[in-house]
């Protein structure tokens, strides 16, 4: 884990934006190839992968997401909250 990635915009769609992630996001095959070659020729510092992993863990941890669900179920989330609206859409 904590490895740098090159991803398409579809792959990162729905992930909270992060400047570091966007630097390694591309859709055109030639740009993807250039980014992959760049990683192979100049391996990224370990901090790049760690930064991206920390970002995902911050926004997508079980504890955080379950706390949001609990707030919705307990009626503690504002009614106009995007989380509440999304929960109603999923019903």
Pure H helices in 1-80: 9-12, 19-23, 29-41, 46-59, 62-73
| Rg (the chain; Cα; Å) | 17
Distance CA 54, CA 2 (A): 8
The per-residue pLDDT for range 2-53, each reduced to its tens digit, is 777 889 999 988 888 888 888 889 999 999 999 999 888 887 777 888 888 8
Per-residue pLDDT, 31: 96
Q: Are residues 56 and 84 in the same domain?
A: no
If asked whether residues 50 and 79 sit together in one domain, one would say no
Q: How many domains are contained in the chain?
A: 2
Q: Residue 73 sits in which domain range?
A: 61-91
| CA distances, 73 to each of 1, 77, 84 (Å) | 33, 8, 9
Q: Is the pTM of this model over 0.75?
A: no
Same domain? For 41 and 67 the reply is no
């Amino acid at each position: 884990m904590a490895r740098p990635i090159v991803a398409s915009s579809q792959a990162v769609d729905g992930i909270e934006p992060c400047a570091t992630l966007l630097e390694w996001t591309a859709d055109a095959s030639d740009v993807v190839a250039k980014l992959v070659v760049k990683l192979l020729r100049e391996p990224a510092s370990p901090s790049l992968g760690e930064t991206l992993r920390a970002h995902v863990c911050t926004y997508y941890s079980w504890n955080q997401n379950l706390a949001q669900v609990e707030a919705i179920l307990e009626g503690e989330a504002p009614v106009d909250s995007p989380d509440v609206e999304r929960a109603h859409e999923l019903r």
